[in-house]
Amino acid sequence: MIVSKIKLQRALEIVKAGLSNREIIEQATCFAFIDGKITTYNDEISLSTPFPELEITGAINADDLYQLLSKLKKDEIEVNISETEITLEAGRAKAGMILQSEIKLPLEELLGKKKWKVLPEKFLTAMDFVRGSASNNLSQPIITCVHVSSEGFLEASDSFRITRYNVNDIPVKTFLIPATSCTEVLQLTPTHIAEGKGWVHFKNEIGTTLSCRVFEDDKFPQTKLILLMEGQDIIFPKNSLEVLERASVFSKREHMIDEVVEIILEEKKLTIKSSSDTAWFEESLNFKYEGDPFTFMVTPYLLKGILSQTLNCTIGKDKLKFESEDWVYVTMLKTIKK
Amino acid sequence: MSEGFFSKKEVESQSRPDGKVYSCISCGNYKNAITKKMVPYGNFKKGILNVGEYPEELDDSRGLPFQSKGGRLLKRTYEKYGIDLVDDCLNINVIRCRPLTDDGEERLPTNFEIDCCRRFILKEIKERKPKIIMVFGMLAVYSLIGHRFKKSLEGITKWRGWTIPDQDFQAWLCPIFSPSQLLKDDENVAQIIFEQDIKNALIKLNEPFREYKEPTIHYVKNLNVLTTITSDIAFDYETTGVKPHLTEHKIICASVAYEDDKVYAFMMPDEKRRQPFINLLENPYIGKIAHNMKYEHTWSINKLNTEVQNWKWDTMQMAHILDNRPGITGLKFQTYVQFGIIDYSSEIEPFLNGIDNKNANSLNRIEELIKTEEGKQKLMRYCALDSIFEFRLAKLQQDEIFNVFH
C-alpha cells in the first residue's frame, strides 16, 4: 500500500489528543487502525478519524510511528504488513514496528450506531464562552465541568463566578462534560452530537468523531437564584479592553482556563492587574463609581469576550453581573478593607 | 478559604470523587469474570442492604452474590433472628466482577478496583434508601467509608460492632466481620462476635434514625454572656501547639457548649476581658466536660493561670472505658461512629499540624489561618463543633453507663 506521509501525519495529529501518556489501559498509548479509521482511547476521551487509505487492523505504538513519520523526508510511503509487523519504506529508509493484530481497546461502547443530532448553531460559541469559568480544582469535581442543560443553556462555575449562555434546542439530555474535554470538542469543530451511556459523542464534517466521558449520576448545583441579582448599574471604561490586552501579556499560563487578571473597583478608579512568575502589570482607568471598593478575578479571554459585547454591568452587595441577550456572567466580589 | 456560591457537598461527585475516571474499563475485572457487573439481588422487604466484599467462585458462576460458604453462614445467622437473606435484604458486593490473577486464581481486589465500583454501591444506597447497611469486612468498609474518612482506616476490628447513624447515607451503617473471612480463620470467638454484631445491628431496624441536629453557634466578643450559664459545660481550646509550656504558645480560641445544641465560641481575649470565662472555669458548681481533660487542664494552668474546678466527665477516657479497642477514642472517630458526622475538620486540619512534626513543642500554622476574618470564623466554628460533640458524647456515654447498671 502506498500512502501519503503528510495525510497520515495529519490524521494522526487529529486523534493524538486521545492518547494516554501511560498505559493505564492496554493499547491506550497506541494508534488503533480499525475499519478504515485511526482511533485513540484514554478512558476520558476517544478520537477516531477516517483513513481509508490504510486497510489494516491492529494497534501500533503511537510514539514510534509518530516520531518516525516526522523524520522521513519522502512523502510517499510504502506500507506492508505481516501478522506481527508493519513495515514502512520511504526512499531508502525502511522501518518495522510491532503490529498488535488484536485491538484490545474497549471500543465496543463507542463504535456502536449512534443517533446523530445536529448541534445547535451557538453551541460551540457557548461552550467556548463558559468553559473559562469552570474550576480546575479536582477536589470540587462537579464544577470542573461544563453543564450542558437540555433546558437550553450551557454554564460553568468555579463557585466564585458563573457564566451561563443560552442555547435553544439542545437535542440531547442534560450532561456534565469536563472543561478539559471541551478544549478537544472546540478543536474538532463538530456539527453533530449523540448521547451514549456515560459518554457524549461529537462528529465533524469530515467524519472525525470525539467521544467524551461525562459525569454520570451527578447534578450541577442550582445557579438560577445566584444569577438573579439587583444593584447599581455601572459602565466599564471604554478603553478597558485595551488595558486588558496589555494585562493579559503576563497572565498567560499553559492552559487558558488557568489565566486570571485581577480587577479592582474603587471610587472613581478601575485597576487591572496581572502577574507571572517573572513580571507584573498594573494600569488604572478613570471610572464612574462611588460605592465600596471591591476586587474580583477573571479569565482575561472571557472578560474580553464580555467587554467586546457590553460595558454595562450591575454591582450588587457582593456580586457583579454582566448580561447580554445570550449570556449572563456573575462574579463574587471581595471587599477591600479601606 | 471561602466555599463561594456552592457548598462543599454540592460540588462533590459520586461518580468521580477526586475528579479522576474510575471506570469498568480502567478496572478491567469484567473481562475475566463469568458474571460481568453483577447486579444487586434480593427483595429488600425489611430495608437491609448487605454489602459484601467480592464475588467468589460460586457467586460468579451463579451470577448472584452471597452464594458461597460465607453467604450461607450469613443466611443461617440471619435466620436465627427471623431475617431472610433474599426476601428481606438486598445483597451486593463492593466489587461487581470476580477479581482473578492472570493465572485465573481468585485474589483480593485492589483499592483502585473498589474505587471504580464505588459509585454503583452509592447509587444503590441513594435510590433504595436502606434502613441499615451491613458492611461485611474491611474492603466493604473501605468502599463505603474510605473515600470520606480523612484519617487512616486501620483494620476491621476497629470498625466492627458500631452502629453508625451515617448522615450522608441517612441509614445505620454497621461494619461487621466478613463471613468468608470467619470461615477461613476458624475462630469461635470471632463467630460469636459476628453473631452479636448482627444481633445489635438488627435492633436498629426498629429504632428511628439518629438525625444530626445543627447546633446554634453564638460567636461572641463580650464574654459576659458566659455568666448566665448555670449547668454543666463542655469546653475546648484551639491552640498554637500541643504542649503549653513554651512561652510562645497561645490559646487562640475557645468554645463552651452549655446545652445539647447551643454553644458559645470566641477568640481568646486579653486577661481583663476573659475574666467571665475564668470565673466559669473556676466555678465549683458547674461540671466540666472535655475530650482529654488533661489537655484543657494543663493549658488553662499554663496560659490562663487558672485551675479548672469540678471536672465531671472526660469523653476520651470514658470512650476507652466503654470499649478498650485501640484507636477508637479520638473525637473525630467518636463523632463519626456516634453521630454519623464524618468530616467537619478537614479544612482546618492542615493548620493544626505542627510545622516540625518531630518536635512536640513545635508551633502549628493556626496563626496563618486567623489572619483573615473568614479564617477566624472557620476556626471558631470548628472549635464550637468540638465542644458540642463532646457535650453530646458525654450525654450518650452517661446513658450507656446508666443502661449498664440498670
Give one DSSP letter per residue of B355-376, joined into a string: SSTT-TT--BSHHHHTTSHHHH
- Specify the 3-state DSSP secondary structure of B132: strand
Contact between residue A73 and residue A46 where contact means Cβ atoms under 8 Å apart: no
B49 and B160 inside one domain: yes
- Specify the 3-state DSSP secondary structure of B227: helix
Task: Determine, for residues B5 and A157 on separate chains, whether the beta-carbon distance falls below 8 Å.
Answer: yes
- Provide, as residue numbers in chain A, all residues whose Cβ is less than 8 Å from the Cβ of B5: 157, 159-160, 162, 221, 223, 226, 332
B105 and B189 inside one domain: yes
Q: Is residue B258 part of a domain?
A: yes
Residue A116 contacts B, CB cutoff 8 Å: no
Residue A160 contacts B, CB cutoff 8 Å: yes
Q: Is residue B2 part of a domain?
A: no
Nearest to A217 among B11, B28, B123 (CB): B123
Q: Is residue B220 part of a domain?
A: yes
B220 and B180 inside one domain: no
Cα–chain center distance at B299: 27
Task: Give the torsion sign (CA, A236, A237, A239, A242).
Answer: negative
Task: Determine, for residues B26 and A44 on separate chains, whether the beta-carbon distance falls below 8 Å.
Answer: no
Grid cell of B127 as nine digits: 435510590
What is the DSSP-derived secondary structure letter of residue B41? B
| Domain termination site, one of B206, B233, B254 | B206
CATH code, domain with B318: 3.30.420.10
Q: Is residue B211 part of a domain?
A: no
Nearest CA in chain A to B126: A217
Compute the average pLDDT of residues B183-194: 79
What is the per-residue pLDDT across B98-153, written as a single tens digit (0 to 9) for each? 999 988 899 999 999 999 999 899 999 999 999 999 999 999 999 999 988 878 89
Across chain A, which has 338 residues, the per-10-residue mean pLDDT values are: 92 94 82 93 93 91 92 89 89 91 81 90 95 89 95 95 94 95 96 93 96 91 90 91 91 74 91 91 91 87 89 89 94 77
Q: Compute the nearest-CA separation of A181 from chain B (Å).
A: 13
The secondary structure of chain A, three-state, reads CEEEHHHHHHHHHHHHHHCCCCCCCCCCCEEEEECCEEEEECCCEEEEEECCCCCCCEEEEHHHHHHHHHHCCCCEEEEEECCCEEEEEECCEEEEEECECCCCCCCHHHHCCCCCEECCCCHHHHHHHHHCCCCCCCCCHHHHEEEEECCCEEEEECCCEEEEEECCCCCCCCEEEEHHHHHHHHHHCCCEEEEECCEEEEECCCCCEEEEECCCCCCCCCCHHHHCCCCEEEECCCCHHHHHHHHCCCCCCCCHHHCCEEEEEECCEEEEEEECCCCEEEEEEECCCCCCCEEEEECHHHHHHHHCCCCEEEECCCEEEEECCCEEEEEECEECCC
The structural domain count of chain B equals 2
Q: Compute the nearest-CA separation of A94 from chain B (Å).
A: 36
B163 and B267 inside one domain: no
Residue A180 contacts B, CB cutoff 8 Å: no
Grid cell of A95 as nine digits: 522501518
Task: Give the torsion sign (CA, B257, B263, B264, B265).
Answer: positive
B192 and B223 inside one domain: no
Task: Determine, for residues B13 and A215 on separate chains, whether the beta-carbon distance falls below 8 Å.
Answer: yes
Residue A110 contacts B, CB cutoff 8 Å: no
ipTM summary value: 0.82
| Domain termination site, one of B171, B206, B241 | B206
Q: pLDDT value at position A259? A: 80
Strands B233-239 and B164-166: unpaired
Name, in order, each residue with C-beta under 8 angstroms of A88's C-beta and a sequence gap of 6 or more.
Answer: A68, A72, A77, A78, A79, A94, A95, A96, A97
| Angle of helix B275-282 versus helix B293-304 axis, rounded to 10 | 130
Q: pLDDT value at position B187? A: 64
B244 and B142 inside one domain: no
Nearest CA in chain A to B119: A217
Closest to B68 in 3D by CA, of B60, B77, B59, B76: B59
Contact between residue B290 and residue B234 where contact means Cβ atoms under 8 Å apart: yes
CA angle at B174 for the pair B36 and B194, rounded to the nearest 5°:
90
Task: Determine, for residues B19 and A138 on separate chains, whether the beta-carbon distance falls below 8 Å.
Answer: yes
Q: Is residue B3 part of a domain?
A: no
| Domain termination site, one of B170, B186, B206 | B206
Q: Compute the nearest-CA separation of B2 from chain A (Å).
A: 9
Residue A183 CA to residue A179 CA, distance in Å, equals: 7
Residue A169 contacts B, CB cutoff 8 Å: no
Nearest to B21 among A143, A213, A217 (CB): A213
B342 or B354: which leads in pLDDT: B342
Say if residue B183's pLDDT is above 80. no
Nearest to B4 among A25, A218, A332 (CB): A332
B248 and B306 inside one domain: yes
- Specify the 3-state DSSP secondary structure of B135: strand
Task: Determine, for residues A142 and B18 on separate chains, whether the beta-carbon distance falls below 8 Å.
Answer: no
What is the DSSP-derived secondary structure letter of residue B211? P
What is the per-residue pLDDT across B19-68, written as a single tens digit (0 to 9) for each? 788 888 888 898 889 999 999 999 999 999 999 999 999 999 999 999 99
B18 and B159 inside one domain: yes
Cβ neighbourhood burial of B16 (10 Å; 0-12, 13-18, 19+): buried
Task: Determine, for residues B6 and A157 on separate chains, whether the beta-carbon distance falls below 8 Å.
Answer: yes
Nearest CA in chain A to B10: A221
Residue B384 CA to residue B280 CA, distance in Å, equals: 17
Compute the average pLDDT of residues B169-187: 86
B183 and B258 inside one domain: no
Q: Is residue B157 part of a domain?
A: yes
Compute the average pLDDT of residues B1-11: 76
CB < 8 Å from B in window 190-219 of A: 198, 213, 215-218
Nearest CA in chain A to B23: A43
What is the DSSP-derived secondary structure letter of residue B213? P
Grid cell of B233 as nine digits: 459545660
Q: Compute the nearest-CA separation of A122 from chain B (Å).
A: 27
Provide the mean pLDDT of chain B.
92
Contact between residue A245 and residue A215 where contact means Cβ atoms under 8 Å apart: no
The count of residues in chain A is: 338
For residue B88, report the phi and psi dihedrals to the nearest 5 degrees. -95, -15
Contact between residue B80 and residue B191 where contact means Cβ atoms under 8 Å apart: no
What's the longest Cα–Cα distance across chain B? Answer: 75
- Distance spanning both ends of chain B, measured CA to CA: 49
Task: Give the torsion sign (CA, B130, B131, B136, B137).
Answer: positive
Residue A221 contacts B, CB cutoff 8 Å: yes
CB < 8 Å from B in window 244-273 of A: none
Task: Determine, for residues B6 and A24 on separate chains, whether the beta-carbon distance falls below 8 Å.
Answer: no
- Provide, as residue numbers in chain A, all residues whose Cβ is less than 8 Å from the Cβ of B11: 135, 140-143, 159, 221
Q: pLDDT value at position B2? A: 46
B238 and B113 inside one domain: no
B146 and B241 inside one domain: no
B15 and B85 inside one domain: yes
Q: Is residue B311 part of a domain?
A: yes
Q: Compute the nearest-CA separation of A76 from chain B (Å).
A: 38
Nearest to A221 among B10, B17, B23 (CB): B10
Residues of B near A (Cβ–Cβ under 8 Å) read 2-6, 8, 10-21, 23, 25-26, 28, 119, 123
Domain that holds residue B228: 216-405
Grid cell of A231 as nine digits: 444593584
Strands A175-178 and A145-149: antiparallel
CATH code, domain with B52: 3.40.470.10
Q: Is residue B127 part of a domain?
A: yes
Task: Determine, for residues B15 and A44 on separate chains, whether the beta-carbon distance falls below 8 Å.
Answer: no
Name, in order, each residue with C-beta under 8 angstroms of A13's C-beta and a sequence gap of 6 or more.
Answer: none
Task: Determine, for residues A141 and B17 on separate chains, whether the beta-carbon distance falls below 8 Å.
Answer: yes
Residue A173 CA to residue B378 CA, distance in Å, equals: 39
Q: Compute the nearest-CA separation of B391 from chain A (Å).
A: 32
What is the per-residue pLDDT across A284-309, written as a single tens digit (0 to 9) for each? 999 888 888 889 888 888 898 899 99
Task: Determine, for residues A138 and B4 on separate chains, whether the beta-carbon distance falls below 8 Å.
Answer: no
Q: pLDDT value at position A302? A: 86
Nearest to A226 among B5, B16, B26 (CB): B5
Nearest to B23 among A43, A139, A160 (CB): A43
- Specify the 3-state DSSP secondary structure of B279: helix
Find where cell 503528510 sits. A6
Nearest to B19 among A43, A144, A158 (CB): A144
Q: Compute the nearest-CA separation of A24 from chain B (Å).
A: 7
Compute the average pLDDT of residues B210-219: 95
